[in-house]
């Protein structure tokens, strides 16, 4: 029996992926550990290794195919005693490359119109824009064409299989006088904003960018987070002067070791220690269960081309700052290259997102489910600040914690933020 090579689940949230590139071809002999393909998941592009030995008899799913479901057969491998040529035809019966889901077609016939209206004033039928007498068009394009009196038969479609989409309506010819109008829909949606030229946004230069799997998952997860997680927000100001002095002293001591601490490294450490001091905030809501963690694993938000990923620094409390800095730099670099292993971005008991490098003073971050909180860090800037009951100028940073109220009460969240502020302003405490 041939061995079925199936689309793997390369991350916990992966339901489908893009088979970006085949690294083998039909007839190649492979053994366990050989690289077979590059697969784009919801998190990164990852290499897929062979588990079994044999000959690639048939590649069922061609490279570049999108929306390949987890578990779908993507290739057949002939075993040692099998004829690869005999196995290949069976692949076509096992699976087929997933075709893109077409938009619903709208026929040019006004079937809902009264028969008398169709026969009262015969006119020449419009030239078909697709096979048969059907004009392929998206529902939105159909509604806009009807509203503006445009003749879809004269429009060249740029969508899949020549389907007409709204962008194709610019410059379309008006429907010939007396042409039958399509029956109105039962429920009319709210009209789209219309530009001066008549077609919505037609006068604005634009392009449609297809969403990557990562962007689709980001949209889905963060929408679910805001819809299902009751967020509340707590904001504090922290004096960074003592932390900046400590960072300078530590970097001077680390000179020659190839390690340089960033402010973010110290903030990750401070959040981890604060969670250890306030364990009731190091939790996750899980239906009828509250999960309480005994270790602080901090997910740090890293912007990458096309999205965002949160590699995890584990056991922050027990790691020296030099190791946190080394790991953070390495994880961020490999995240941008799409080279993280799943276990390096899965998990995490809380998250930190720092936009201070962009000059952002303060922001509210969206919780990364199923985590219970995320800390949003702004820029450190010179501000008037009261120090020892006297007004002075200090380097001040605003930090906002977003908390899941199902898991973390307001008083517990406030306790965590107070602990974080104390550790930032008296940073030797996080090194004890």
CB 416 within 8 A of CB 278: yes
pLDDT of residue 121: 43
pLDDT of residue 306: 80
Note the pTM of the prediction, 2 decimals. Answer: 0.63
Which token pair is 405? Answer: 């109220």
Mean pLDDT for the chain overall:
82
Q: What is the pLDDT of residues 365-420, one digit of tens each?
A: 999 999 999 999 999 999 999 998 999 999 999 999 999 999 999 999 999 999 99
Q: What is the pLDDT of residues 309-352, one digit of tens each?
A: 999 999 999 999 999 999 999 999 999 888 888 889 989 999 99
pLDDT of residue 342: 84
Highest mean pLDDT: which of 79-83, 124-128, 182-186, 250-254? 250-254
pLDDT of residue 133: 47
pLDDT of residue 156: 79
The Cα-based distances of 109 to 141, 177, 217, 325 in angstroms read 15, 16, 39, 66
pLDDT of residue 191: 55
Q: What's the rounded Cα separation, in Å, for the pair 98 and 72? A: 9
Q: What is the pLDDT of residues 155-189, one digit of tens each?
A: 877 766 677 776 777 766 555 444 444 444 445 55
- Other CB atoms within 10 Å distance of the CB of residue 1: 9
CA angle 429, 431, 432 (to 5 degrees): 70
Give the 3-state secondary structure of residue 388: coil
Q: What is the pLDDT of residues 116-159, one digit of tens each?
A: 444 444 444 444 444 444 677 766 677 677 767 777 777 877 76
The Cα-based distances of 143 to 131, 152, 157, 227 in angstroms read 21, 11, 15, 31
pLDDT of residue 420: 98
Q: List, in sequence order, the alpha helices (H) in 278-409.
A: 321-336
pLDDT of residue 288: 93
- What is the dotted CATH code of the domain comprising 214-431? 3.30.559.10
Q: What is the pLDDT of residues 266-319, one digit of tens each?
A: 999 999 999 999 999 999 999 999 999 999 999 999 998 888 899 999 999 999
pLDDT of residue 88: 59
Share of the chain above pLDDT 70, in %: 77
Q: Is the pLDDT of residue 96 over 60?
A: no
Q: Is the pLDDT of residue 94 over 90?
A: no
Please give the positions annotated as active site: 405
Which token pair is 369? Answer: 């489910």
Q: What fold characterizes domain 3-94?
A: OB fold (Dihydrolipoamide Acetyltransferase, E2P) (2.40.50)
Peptide bond into 347 cis (omega under 30): no
Q: What's the rounded Cα separation, in Å, for the pair 56 and 25? A: 7
pLDDT of residue 90: 52
Closest CA to 22 of 70, 53, 58, 67: 58
Q: What is the mean pLDDT of residues 18-41?
A: 86
User: Domain ranges in the chain?
Assistant: 3-94, 103-210, 214-431
Beta-carbon contacts of 121 under 8 Å, excluding residues fewer than 6 positions away, are 178
Q: What is the mean pLDDT of residues 48-68?
A: 86
pLDDT of residue 112: 43
Which token pair is 362? Answer: 């303060």
pLDDT of residue 362: 97
């Amino acid at each position: 029996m041939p061995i079925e090579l199936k689309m793997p689940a390369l991350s916990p949230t992966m339901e489908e992926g893009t088979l970006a590139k085949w690294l083998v071809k039909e007839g190649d002999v492979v053994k366990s550990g050989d690289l077979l393909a590059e697969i784009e998941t919801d998190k990164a592009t990852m290499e897929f290794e062979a588990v079994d030995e044999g000959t690639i008899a048939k590649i069922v799913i061609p490279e570049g195919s999108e929306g390949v479901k987890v578990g779908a057969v993507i290739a057949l491998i002939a075993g040692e005693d099998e004829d690869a040529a005999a196995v290949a035809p069976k692949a076509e019966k096992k699976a087929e490359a997933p075709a893109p889901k077409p938009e619903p077609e709208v026929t040019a016939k006004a079937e809902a119109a009264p028969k008398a209206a169709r026969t009262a004033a015969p006119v020449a039928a419009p030239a078909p824009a697709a096979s048969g007498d059907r004009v392929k068009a998206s529902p939105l394009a159909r509604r806009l064409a009807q509203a503006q009196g445009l003749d879809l038969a004269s429009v060249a479609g740029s969508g899949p299989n020549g389907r007409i989409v709204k962008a194709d309506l610019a410059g379309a010819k008006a429907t010939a006088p007396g042409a039958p109008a399509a029956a109105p829909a039962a429920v009319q949606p709210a009209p789209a904003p219309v530009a001066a030229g008549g077609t919505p946004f037609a006068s604005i230069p634009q392009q449609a960018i297809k969403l990557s799997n990562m962007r689709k998952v980001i949209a889905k997860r963060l929408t679910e987070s805001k819809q299902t997680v009751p967020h509340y927000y707590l904001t504090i100001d922290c004096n960074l002067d003592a932390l900046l002095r400590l960072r300078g002293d530590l970097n001077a001591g680390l000179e020659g070791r190839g390690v340089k601490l960033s402010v973010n490294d110290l903030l990750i450490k401070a959040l981890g220690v604060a969670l250890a001091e306030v364990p009731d905030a190091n939790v996750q809501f899980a239906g009828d269960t509250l999960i309480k963690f005994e270790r602080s694993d901090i997910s740090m938000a890293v912007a990458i081309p096309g999205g965002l990923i949160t590699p995890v620094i584990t056991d922050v409390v027990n790691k020296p700052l030099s190791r946190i800095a080394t790991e953070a730099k390495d994880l961020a670099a490999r995240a941008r290259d799409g080279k993280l292993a799943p276990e390096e971005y899965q998990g995490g008991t809380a998250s930190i997102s720092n936009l201070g490098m962009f000059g952002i003073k303060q922001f509210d971050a969206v919780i990364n489910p199923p985590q219970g909180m995320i800390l949003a860090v702004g820029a450190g800037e010179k501000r008037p600040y009261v120090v020892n009951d006297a007004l002075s100028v200090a380097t001040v940073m605003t930090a906002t914690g977003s908390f899941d109220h199902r898991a973390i009460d307001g008083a517990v969240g406030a306790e965590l933020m107070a602990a974080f502020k104390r550790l930032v302003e008296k940073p030797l405490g996080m090194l004890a």
